[in-house]
Structure 1
């Protein structure tokens, strides 16, 4: 599927994505991308986040591809069984291990337990070997359970502004690889 043939829903994690974050840059550069705004970025409510993702997917008439970062990855795993059939894929970057990571913020714990059911659409999990919020082994476990392709991004931290990921051209190449697998 070509990027121009679908709607890209950008799903930031806890606190939202700051200006300059790769998600915000993608949203600015892709005419068919939109950032899904959560009611509360700092005190997240799992049910609200899931409902917001589901509603955003249902409001589009075209195929949808989700681009989730951090806590939003777990929200997608929770939302997946509810999402409409127009959701064709998900690009899942730097999942937060809300179950086992001692660095995961306390307010993220309500997103546990992390679903382990296969996702009903193709997906790719991208994780780094030195992310403070998820070990590489856990990221691989999530990808395996979800039936996702897995890409190890090297020592890339949490793949955000703080780890030096503004434009993140490598991520765009991985996203393009996922898009090539999707049906229109």
Structure 2
């Protein structure tokens, strides 16, 4: 069955140099959710556009959302839990800054999710990002000092992020169909989707000078794949714990 990937940008959409635009070139079944007003953060309107795109598809969907788009995506996906294969939530905007915290899910999303955050994101602190991951039952990946994880901070071609998205495709299988009648005996929040080897590779990447790090994050897929060997489709037994783990 075909899985549609919904690309959900944040405010002002995502330009051609953004990783979401690059995702579209790599995923033949990707569909960008278009908002009527990219400059106005209207959660009900944005969410309704996402719901409409999900409803138009008969099969499962993956979501790759950024910034305010991540907030709209989790609200919209609440109504389609059984249809959402997984959601990659990158650099979500701070719900409190937009006055929408009370409109967002207060518990686990009901489908696999990975929240990717940055230590110096101007739109959301890493501690708040981790709190959202806990609240939503999402896996958490801290990229270190990566800004808002957009084109301006060097995230154009992003094979590492694409690996995270593709890993979500198989999570329901690993977890016995969680969200569709299965159970997940290990709480999702607070885990990294990486093997210890891949965690060490990511830590080494974070230690590089910012300029070099940005270049590598935009490098060839082969280069990044070598750096994170063992990252994709790592079994649960090999996942590394997230917070308070030195060097991870």
User: Is residue 10–residue 35 contact of structure 1 (8 Å, CA) maintained in 2?
Assistant: yes
The match for 2:9 among 9, 12, 22 is 12
1:45 alignment counterpart:
42
Please give the root-mean-square deviation of Cα atoms over the aligned residues, in Å: 1.8
The match for 2:151 among 152, 155, 161 is 161
Query: Structure 2 CA distance, aligned partners of 1:54 and 1:85?
Result: 13
- For normalisation by structure 1, the TM-score amounts to 0.87
Residue 112 of structure 2 is aligned to residue 112 of structure 1? no
Which protein is richer in strand relative to its size? Answer: 1
Relative to structure 1, the CA distance from residue 140 to residue 58 in structure 2 (aligned partners, 3 Å threshold; closer, same or farther) is same
1:66 alignment counterpart:
63
Relative to structure 1, the CA distance from residue 75 to residue 94 in structure 2 (aligned partners, 3 Å threshold; closer, same or farther) is same
User: Is residue 11–residue 69 contact of structure 2 (8 Å, CA) maintained in 1?
Assistant: yes
Query: Which runs of 5 or more structure 1 residues have no equivalent in the other structure?
Result: none
Residue 25 of structure 2 is aligned to residue 28 of structure 1? yes
Q: Measure how far apart 1:182 and its partner are.
A: 3.1
For residue 125 of structure 1, give the secondary structure of its aligned residue in structure 2. Answer: strand
The 5-angstrom pairing of residues 166-177 of structure 1 reads: 166-177=156-167
Residue 120 of structure 2 is aligned to residue 123 of structure 1? no
Q: Number of aligned pairs?
A: 173
Query: Which runs of 5 or more structure 2 residues have no equivalent in the other structure?
Result: 178-248
RCO comparison, higher one (Cα < 8 Å, 6+): 1
- For normalisation by structure 2, the TM-score amounts to 0.65
Q: Which of the pair has more CA radius of gyration?
A: 2
- Show CA shifts across 1:99-143 (max 9, x none): 1xxxx5xxxx14333432210211000001111111111000000
Q: Measure how far apart 1:28 and its partner are.
A: 2.0
The match for 1:85 among 78, 82, 86 is 82
Relative to structure 1, the CA distance from residue 123 to residue 42 in structure 2 (aligned partners, 3 Å threshold; closer, same or farther) is same
The match for 1:142 among 121, 125, 132 is 132
User: Is residue 46–residue 110 contact of structure 1 (8 Å, CA) maintained in 2?
Assistant: no
Q: Measure how far apart 1:179 and its partner are.
A: 2.3
The match for 1:182 among 172, 189, 194 is 172
